[in-house]
Amino acid sequence: MSMLKFESFKGINNQARGTELTPADLGTATNVDVSNAGRLQRRQGYTVQNACCHANLFEAPGYLLATDAQHALVAIWPDGQRATVHPGMGAGRIWYARLPDGRVAFSNGLQCGITDGRTGGEWGARKPESVGVAVAAQGSLAPGKYRWAVTHVRRADGLESGGVTSDVQEVAHGGLALMGLPEREGFDTQVYLTQPGGEQFFLVGRAAGGQLRITAPAGLGAARTLDLDAPPAGILLAEWNGRALLAEGSMLLASLPTMPEQFDLTRDYRQFGAAITLVQPVGNGIFVGTTEALHFLAGETWDSLRMSTPMTGPVALGSGVAVDGRFVRIGDGNAEGECMLALVDGVITAGLPSGQAVPLSEGRYRTEAQEVSAAFRLQGRMPQYMVQVLR
């Protein structure tokens, strides 16, 4: 039986006609690996560990996250133990990010959460839905116009939500009795009050049974989280310099530094001219891809980021992956530092820490994929950029 041999395999070339391929080219290659020396070898098989259908796999610290056949998000540990993180995430794609404290945030664009692999919960703390009502009561408040504010405080870790504020309440004399204050399981309801005619809110206490009587001036410390929000259910989650990042439409949002569950949606955002399809931090900044171009935000702090556009053309949704520069060939040498790989205008492209974008497969390989699931791995000593086309 004859065998096809390659003296020096150069790679896949789907841009040339079949009659134009050299003896070192292939139009396609199925179930083979390519060594660093350019040799082809049959791809290894696999072992079935669980016959149940799983999707949305993510390698978390010490465990695996996946959705099962009932679309529940589960954590699977090496010893076979399974923990249900979320009972129903739907059949759509889930985006993940490892956070600095070791937990993993997840979102499908409609609902989001956070997990340590044992339990799952809400990512951030939602603002209360109402402020209740006030009636006159006995007390020693100075006459004047007051407003109060309400937040929720998570009992498990003390995380405080953003707040909602009341209309102006006139106090002629005495105090205020607040009723119908919002309650949530697992949370305390915290109440703040202004000084008469003032704008700043100060803590007056925690409600019990949806009620709180305010009989004396506030003085237990100023409110700090009233203008903050829990993260919206975005896509393309990432972590950068202690901040959680996510995309919502054409907007890139960032959490507060070292506070991945608290967002200032009025301040910490960047607006782009088209829908965001890639968020990939590298050594000196953040690559942000859209349906129109690949941008780079250079800098070490959110307020100092400077934007450039190293490459135009649509960036395939989900194609960005982090990669060590030692495995990225640029000319006659290798790149250095934290880099990324992505599909930009159909071409496999390297993003360098400097913000430069280098097309790696231009003239040889191109794809029309609009959305993919991508990963980078070392198979033996062979670096592999793996892409599954979704549409």
Report pLDDT digits (tens) over 187-219: 999 999 999 999 999 999 999 999 999 988 767
Using alpha carbons only, give the angle 306, 309, 311 rounded to the nearest 5 degrees.
155
Q: Give the separation between CA 256 and CA 244, rounded to whole angstroms.
A: 8
Please report which confidence band the pLDDT of residue 7 belongs to, taking 50, 70 and 90 as the band edges: low
pLDDT above 50 for 386: yes
pLDDT above 60 for 383: yes
pLDDT of residue 306: 97
Contacts of 51 (CB under 8 A, 6+ apart): none
Query: Which tens digits make up the pLDDT trace of 19-74?
Result: 677 766 767 777 777 766 667 777 777 777 776 778 899 999 999 999 999 999 99
pLDDT of residue 278: 98
pLDDT of residue 37: 65
Mean pLDDT (whole number) for 171-187: 93
Which residue in 63, 68, 164, 165 sits closest to 116, CA to CA?
63
Please report which confidence band the pLDDT of residue 361 belongs to, taking 50, 70 and 90 as the band edges: confident
Using alpha carbons only, give the angle 237, 243, 245 rounded to the nearest 5 degrees.
25
Buried b (16+ CB within 10 A) or exposed e, 258-281: ebbbbbbbeebebebeebbbbbbb
Please report which confidence band the pLDDT of residue 220 belongs to, taking 50, 70 and 90 as the band edges: confident
CB atoms within 10 A of CB 317: 26
With 0-12 / 13-18 / 19 or more C-beta atoms within 10 angstroms meaning exposed / middle / buried, residue 30 is exposed
Q: Are 139 and 215 in contact (CB under 8 A)?
A: yes
Please report which confidence band the pLDDT of residue 15 belongs to, taking 50, 70 and 90 as the band edges: confident
Query: Which tens digits make up the pLDDT trace of 333-344?
Result: 888 899 999 999
Mean pLDDT (whole number) for 154-177: 94
pLDDT of residue 19: 67
pLDDT of residue 3: 44
Please report which confidence band the pLDDT of residue 244 belongs to, taking 50, 70 and 90 as the band edges: very high
Query: Which tens digits make up the pLDDT trace of 98-151?
Result: 998 899 999 999 999 999 999 999 999 999 999 999 998 888 899 999 999 999
SS3 278: strand
Mean residue pLDDT of the chain comes to 90
Mean pLDDT (whole number) for 244-256: 98
Distances (CA, A) of 239 to 59, 135, 200, 220, 350: 15, 46, 33, 35, 20
Q: Residue 18 phi/psi, 5° resolution?
A: -55, -35
pLDDT of residue 8: 63
pLDDT of residue 380: 74
Q: Are 254 and 242 in contact (CB under 8 A)?
A: no
Which residue in 176, 258, 156, 256 sits closest to 216, CA to CA?
176
pLDDT of residue 2: 40
pLDDT above 90 for 174: no
CB atoms within 10 A of CB 139: 16
Q: Are 353 and 336 in contact (CB under 8 A)?
A: yes
Question: Which comes out higher in pLDDT, residue 24 or 345?
Answer: 345
String of DSSP letters for 3-58:
----SS--EE--SS-GGG--TTEES---SEEE-TTS-EEEPP----S--S--EEEE
Q: Which residue type occupies 31? A: N
Mean pLDDT (whole number) for 236-262: 97
Q: Are 284 and 353 in contact (CB under 8 A)?
A: yes
